[in-house]
Structure 1
Amino acid sequence: MRATRSSKTPRRRRLALVLALLGSLIAAVGGLVVSTASAASPAPVTIVIDGVTSDVQAPTGTPGAAVPYVLVQAGGTIHVRVSFYDVYGAPASFQKDTPLVITSDQGGPTPATVTAPRGMTSVTLDTSLPVAANQVSLTVSVPGKAGRTVTPGTSTADQRFDVVNELRFVDSAPNSSFEQGIGGDDSNCQYATPADPVCGTLILPHGAQSSQVLLSLGVCDTTYAGCGSTSGAVVQALAQLDGLYTDTDPAALLIKCDKTLCAGGAIQDQHLSFSLNGNDALATAEACPAKATLGAGQDACVDYVQSKRDGSGDTLLYLLFTQDMRGSVG
C-alpha cells in the first residue's frame, strides 16, 4: 500500500509540473503575439529634404560643373523630394494623410501646402516660386500642433538654387554661326531699356557641338559678388563647346547696359562679373590683353577694345570665353 501511494504521488507532481510549464509557455507566447499586433510604427520626428529638381535639363554634353543645381524659370515647377525618419533614424511614415507646408527664404511657393499620403516614408512635393531669386532655400514642415514633435527639413548649402526670369532653348549646330539674345526690349536683346536695363547676346562664330543652347536671364544682387545694383542681371549660356574655341578665336557674350544704369565715365570703368560654374559666386573679369584675345590663364576677360557706347548712350561690353559661363553687370 505504501508503495502504491508512493508511486502515484510523483506522477501527479510531474503532471502538475508539466501542466504548469505548458501554461507558462502559452502565456509567454500569447504575450508576444499581443505585443507585436498592437505595436504601431514609430511616428516621424524628422523631415529631410533629399533633393530639388525641375523638368528642365541642360543641353547634352554641357560640362557638369557648369550646370546649376536646378534650372527653373519663375512660375516653373520644382520637385522637392523629402523623407521621414523616426527617433531611431529609421524610415517612418505618417499614420494618416498629413499636410506639409513649403516655405522659402525668397518668397512664398505656390502651392504652399501639399499632402503627404499615409504610409509613405518619402514623397515628392511639387511647387513653384512666382518671382526670380538667387540661392533659394526651402523648408518643409508639419503645420500646427502636430508639427511640434516633427523637426522641419531645410535645404542644405549645396541644394540652394536660382530661379531665373527668362529661360529658353535655341537650336544650334557645330560650325554654324550662332547669335541669339535674351532679355531687353524684345526678349532678344535688340536694345536694353530702362525697364530691362541689362540683356545679353551670345555670339558663337563656330556654333556649338550640342544641338541646342540654353540661355537664361536671372537677377543680379548681393548674393553674387560683383552685383552692386539689383537693376542688373545675370546672363547664363549653357552648351557643349568642346574644341570649337581657343584663346585667339573665342566665343563672346555681348552685354548691353542701358544708360540709366551704366552711364558716364570711361568704358574701362564698367566691369563684368562671370563664373564658369553653375552654382558659384561671380568674380570680376579682367581686361583682355588684346582685341578678341584671352590672356594666358584667363577663363574669361572683357574686350575693352571692341566695347563701346552706342548712339543712344547705352554701354556694350564684350565678355570673351571658350566654355560655358554666366556673366553679369550691375
Structure 2
Amino acid sequence: MAVSWEKYPRRALQDKLPMKIPEQNPSRSLPVLCLLQKRQELMDVDHGLWAQKEEFQTRMVVLMQRREQLEQKKQELKGAFLRFDKFLQDAEARRSRAARRAAEARHGAGRQEAEAQRLRAQLEALRRERARLRRRLERLWPGARLLERVLGQLPEFQEVPELVARFGALADTLAALRLRERGLRAELEEARARLRRLRDARRDELLRRGQQRAQLLGRLEAARERALHWESQWAQIQNTAAEKTLLLGRVRMAALNLYQLVCQHQRQPPALAMEDTEGQLEQVKLFLLDRSALLASLPRSEPETL
C-alpha cells in the first residue's frame, strides 16, 4: 500500500528511531539515556507537529478542491512541506550518524549533547516555520470561509471551482461588454460628429439657399419691374400700331378711292387688286404726273376743266 508524502517523514522517523532502549552500564549510559530522553521528547514534539500538520494538510486539501485560485499558494506550501520533509530526513540521517558515533565512541557524549542542542535549535526553527505556516493559513482561511458562505447561498453550484469558473466567465463577459460599450461609445461619438458636420453643412446650405433666394427675389422683382415696363411699352406699341393700322386703313381706302376715280376718269375698269395699294398709288401718281404735264402745256389763261 502506498504511503502519502505527508505521512512519509513520520513513518521514516518511526522506522529509524530505536523503539527500545538497550541495556547499558548505568555508569556509562546516563548521557545516552539523556540523549534518548531528549530524542523521545523530540519525537513527541514531532508527533504533535505532524498531527497538526496532518490536520492542516487535510484542510488544505479541502481548500484546494474548493478553490483553484489558491493552487499557486498551496503549491508553495507543498514545496515548503517537501523541504520540511527533506530537512527531517536529513536530520534523521544526521541523528542516525550521531547515534552510530555514540555507540562507537561512548566518550562522545559531549558532542552528542552539542548535537542535541543543535537539534533543539532546529526544532525551534521548525516551530517558527510551523507558526509561519499557521499564520499563512489564518490569512487564507477567511477567503476559504467566504467562498463557502457564498457557495451556501448559491445552491446551483456544488463546488467552489464551479463558482469561481462561473464568476470568471461573468468577469470575461463583463470585460467584453465594457469593450463593446467603449466601441459603441466611439461609434456614437463618431455619429454625433457626423451629425454635427451634417447640421453645419445643412445650416450653410440653408444660408446659401437663403442668399440665393434673396438674390432670386431681387431678380424677380427687377424682372417684374422690367415686365411692367415692357408691358406698358407693349401697350403703347399696340396703341400706336392700332393708330397706324387705322391710319393705314384710311390711307389704303383713300388710295383705293383715288384709283377708282382715276379708272372712272379714264373709263377703264380697275385692273389692280384692292390690296395692291402701292400699285394703286403708282397709277394715281402717273395720272397726276400726266395731268400736271398736260396742265403745264396749256396756256395760263385757259385752264382745262376736268
TM-score, normalising length: structure 2:
0.25
TM-score, normalising length: structure 1:
0.24
Which structure: greater strand fraction?
A: 1
Q: Which has the larger radius of gyration?
A: 2
